[in-house]
A = this chain, B = another copy of it.
Amino acid sequence: MACDLCNLLAAPGAALIWGDDRLSVVAVDEAEYPGFTRVVWNAHVKEMTDLPAEDRVRIMDVVWAVESAQREVMAPEKVNLASFGNMTPHVHWHVIPRYRDDAHFPNPTWAVAQRASSAEVLAARRALLPALHAAIVEKVKAL
């Protein structure tokens, strides 16, 4: 069975922000959501409660590091966190900086879009990505 996340982790290329033997932090290429980041457990495990407690603490500590970096660098209105895995049952967390003028606010990004974001606003957020990725690496290394 092919798993999209197993395939991605086999050759993450420039999408990989940080990784070790257990976890990978990956930049998500979604035009409307600069800064959208995924925290992926490297092994193909389906549910959080399939992981031992110490591994659950570890992955969530990395999620909090990403949230913290997004808040510091991108100053979003809110950070959204989600772990679904209905299509790709391989533990991963979506960490999404949200803004009042983004495409779906105040709804989740999986809902129907409310508006289009302006190209200028998106470009300004994209310009923060090098600083965001540096902050993520710094915060994860400090864990």
Partner of A71, one of B47, B89, B110: B47
Chain B residues lying within 8 Å of A67, measured Cβ to Cβ, are 47-49
Chain B residues lying within 8 Å of A107, measured Cβ to Cβ, are 86, 110
Partner of A78, one of B53, B86, B106: B86
Q: What count of chain A residues pass the 8 Å CB interface test?
A: 32
Tell me the bound Cα distance from A64 to B80 in angstroms.
19
Shortest CB-to-CB span from A117 to chain B, Å, is 15
> Do the beta carbons of A56 and B60 come within 8 Å of each other?
yes
Chain B residue at smallest Cβ distance from A64: B49
Residue A18 is within 8 A (CB to CB) of chain B in the complex? no
Please list 10 pairs of residues, one from A and one from B, whose beta carbons are closer than 8 Å in the complex, sorted by A's number: A46-B78, A47-B71, A49-B67, A49-B71, A49-B79, A78-B84, A81-B83, A82-B108, A86-B106, A86-B108
